[in-house]
């Protein structure tokens, strides 16, 4: 297991991960990268998130 990966996990507070867990962490991050590559980067600046904070509470 690379020191870089262990350091990355430690920085995230995941310092109890074993080598086996770190291998899983690496696969999970790689898999997520594929999804992240599809994220559109050119959305209009004013495009709001799908759920929006409301000061008076939840809209039902």
Partner 1 sequence: MSGELAYLGLAEAGELIRAMKLSPVEYATALLARIERHDGKYNAFIALTPERAMSAARAAESEIAAGRWRGPFHGMPYALKDIIDVEGLQTTAHSKILIGNIARRHAVVTERLEAAGGVLLGKLATHEFAIGGPSFDLPWPPARNPWNRDHFCGGSSSGSGAGLAAGFFPAALGTDTGGSIRNPASMCGITGMKPTYGRVSRRGVAPLAFSLDHIGPMTRTVRDNALMLQVVAGHDPGDPGSADEPVPEYGAMLDQGVRGLRIGVIRHFYTSDVAGDPEQVTALDAAVNLLAEAGAETSEIVLPALQDFSACGQIILAAEAYAVHEQWLKERPQDYGARARERLLAGAALRAVDYVQAVRWRRELRDQVAAAFANIDLAITASSMDPACRIDDDATLAANYWRQARMPFNVTGQPGLVIPAGFSRGGLPLSLQLVGHPFGEALLYRAAQFYEDATGWTKRHPPELSD
Least distance to partner 1, CB of residue 17, Å: 6
Task: Look at the chain and count its residues.
Answer: 60
Q: What is the largest CA-CA distance in the chain?
A: 50
- Report the C-alpha gap between 4 and 58 in whole angstroms: 43
Q: Which residues contact 6 (CB under 8 A, 6 or more apart)?
A: 22
Residue from 48, 53, 55, 56 that binds partner 1 (CB under 8 A)?
48
User: Which of 2, 4, 16, 56 is in the footprint of partner 1 by CB under 8 A?
Assistant: 16
Provide the binding-site residues for partner 1, judged by CB under 8 A.
Answer: 8-9, 12-18, 21, 24-25, 27-29, 31-32, 34-36, 38-41, 43, 47-51, 58, 60
């Amino acid at each position: 297991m690379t020191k870089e990966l262990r350091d990355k996990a430690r920085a995230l507070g995941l310092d109890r991960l074993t080598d086996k867990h770190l291998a899983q962490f690496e696969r999970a991050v790689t898999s997520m990268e594929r999804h992240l590559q599809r994220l559109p980067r050119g959305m209009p600046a004013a495009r709001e998130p799908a759920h929006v904070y409301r000061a008076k509470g939840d809209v039902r």
